[in-house]
Amino acid sequence: MDKRVTSGIEGLDDIIGGGFPKGSTILVCGNPGTGKTVFSAQFLYKGAKVHGENGVYVSFGEKREAFMSFMKAFGFNFEKLEDEGKFAFLEMITGRKEIHSDLIKMILEKINDLNAERLVIDPITAISQAYEGVIDARTLIHTVLGKVVQEAGCTTLMVSEIPVGNDSIGLGVEEFVSDGVILLKRRIYNERLLRELEIVKLRGTRINYPRLTFTLDGGIHIFPPQTIFTQDLGRYEVIPHGENYYSTGISDLDKLIGGTFVKGGFNLIEVDADVAFPLERLTAPTMCNFLNQNHGVAVLPPMGLSAQTCKKIVEPHVDENVINRNLRIVDFKVAGEPVKVHPYVLPLKGAYIAEDMNRFWDTVTELRENTKKPVLTIVGYDTLEYIYGEKEALRILGEDIARIKNFEDLRVNIARPTIETINHLRALAHIHLKICQINGATLLYGVKPKTQIYNVEIKVENNVRKIRLKPIV
Query: Hey, where are the domains in the chain?
Result: 4-223, 235-471
Q: What phi and psi values does residue 468 have, to the nearest 5 degrees?
A: -110, 135
Give dist(CA 421, CA 304) in Å, integer.
19
Share of the chain above pLDDT 90, in %: 71
- Phi-psi region for residue 42, left (φ > 0), alpha (ψ -120 to 50) or beta? alpha
SS3 (DSSP) at 440: coil
235-471 is classed in which CATH architecture? 3-Layer(aba) Sandwich (3.40)
Q: Tell me, what's the pLDDT at 174?
A: 57
Report pLDDT for 2.
76
- Angle CA(287)–CA(291)–CA(294) in degrees, nearest 5? 150
Is pLDDT at 56 greater than 50 in this prediction?
yes
Asked if residue 230 has pLDDT above 80, the reply is no
Among residues 273, 280, 332, which one has the least CA distance to residue 307?
332
Write down the number of H helices and E strands in the chain: 16, 24
Which residue did the predictor score with more confidence, 23 or 44?
44
d(Cα 414, Cα 276) in Å, to the nearest integer?
13
Whether 167 has a pLDDT exceeding 80, the answer reads no
Report the distance separating Cα 267 and Cα 414, nearest Å.
Answer: 9
Residue 229 pLDDT level (bands cut at 50, 70, 90):
very low
Please name the residues in contact with 365: beta carbons below 8 A apart, sequence gap of 6 or more: none
The C-alpha atoms of residue 311 and residue 323 are separated, in whole angstroms, by: 8
Helices (H), 315-428: 320-326, 353-371, 381-388, 390-395, 397-407, 422-428
Count of residues making up the chain:
473
Helix (H) or strand (E) holding 81: helix 78-83
Q: Which architecture does CATH list for 4-223?
A: 3-Layer(aba) Sandwich (3.40)
Which amino acid is located at 470 in the chain? K
Burial of 208 (C-beta count, 10 Å sphere; 0-12/13-18/19+)? exposed
Mean pLDDT, rounded, of the chain: 89
Given a cut of 80, whether residue 93 has pLDDT beyond it is no
- Please, where are the H alpha helices in 148-256? 173-177, 251-256
The least confident of 88-92, 121-125, 214-218, 228-232 is: 228-232
Task: Please report, for residues 16, 305, 423, the alpha-carbon distance to residue 7 in angstroms, rounded to integers and kept in the order given.
Answer: 9, 40, 45
Q: What is the pLDDT of residue 276?
A: 74
Report the range of poorest mean pLDDT among 125-129, 158-162, 279-283, 309-313.
Answer: 125-129
**Identical fold between 4-223 and 235-471:** yes
Distance, in Å, from the CA atom of 105 to the CA atom of 118, rounded to the nearest integer, reads 17
| Residue 260 pLDDT > 60 | yes
Report the percent of the chain where pLDDT is more than 70: 86
Rounded mean pLDDT of 404-423?
A: 95
Distance CA 40, CA 45 (A): 9
3-state class of 141 per DSSP? helix
Question: CA-CA distance, 207 to 42, in Å (whole number)?
Answer: 22
